[in-house]
């Protein structure tokens, strides 16, 4: 049986450049969370988390957000910070702009996408600890 994932927080790092005022916001149907817009955003963010790559300091390609999630699963990290520039680079300016203009709602969607990609703990972290026992 898989242990419950550890608790963690999600934060968005804003774009470093000056951005214009938001041109649109999510309407009430979108905010309800049960429509195609929510599902499309969640799927796009899942792909982003799974596929976003960057070079590390040694020039090796890494899967940035999957590595963050592994550290969360191993209880080495309690916060996943997602950079809107990364979203724009991978998924386009439209999604980045939607997140910027509807941050509260998209943090929830992003948290769902991160949870969907949460790996099992590795190594010693795979052993059940007291927090796992108490959460049952």
pLDDT in tens, 89-117: 999 999 999 999 999 999 999 999 999 99
Q: What is the mean pLDDT of the chain?
A: 83
How many Å apart are CA 101 and CA 94, to the nearest integer?
Answer: 10
Mean pLDDT of all residues in 123-134: 61
Q: Which of 111, 119, 55, 58 is nearest to 81 (CA)?
A: 111
How many Å apart are CA 87 and CA 64, to the nearest integer?
Answer: 12
Orientation angle between helical segments 93-101 and 36-51, nearest 10 degrees: 120
Mean pLDDT of all residues in 13-24: 71
pLDDT at residue 28, as a whole number: 42
Domains, the chain, ordered by start = 24-122 (3.30.1640)
Of the two residues 112 and 132, the one the predictor is more confident about is 112
Report helix, strand or coil for 53.
strand
pLDDT at residue 33, as a whole number: 47
Mean pLDDT of all residues in 49-57: 95
Confirm if 134 and 16 have CB atoms less than 8 A apart. no
Half-sphere exposure of 64 (CA within 13 A, CB side): 16
Report helix, strand or coil for 129.
coil
- Phi first, then psi: give them for residue 81, nearest 5 degrees: -105, 120
Does residue 19 have a pLDDT over 60? yes
How many Å apart are CA 81 and CA 73, to the nearest integer?
Answer: 15
Residue 128: count other Cβ atoms within 10 Å of its Cβ: 13
Read off the pLDDT band of 124 (50, 70, 90): low
């Amino acid at each position: 049986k898989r242990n419950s994932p550890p608790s963690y927080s999600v934060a968005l790092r804003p774009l470093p450049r000056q951005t214009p005022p938001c041109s649109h916001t999510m309407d009430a149907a979108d905010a309800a969370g049960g429509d195609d817009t929510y599902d499309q955003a969640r799927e796009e963010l899942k792909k982003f988390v799974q596929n976003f790559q960057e070079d590390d300091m040694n020039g090796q390609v890494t899967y940035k957000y999957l590595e963050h999630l592994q550290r969360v699963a191993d209880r080495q990290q309690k916060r996943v910070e997602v950079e809107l520039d990364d979203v724009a680079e991978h998924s386009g300016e439209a999604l980045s702009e939607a997140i910027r203009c509807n941050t509260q709602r998209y943090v929830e969607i992003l948290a769902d996408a991160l949870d969907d990609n949460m790996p099992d703990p590795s190594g010693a972290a795979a052993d059940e600890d007291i927090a796992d026992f108490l959460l049952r």
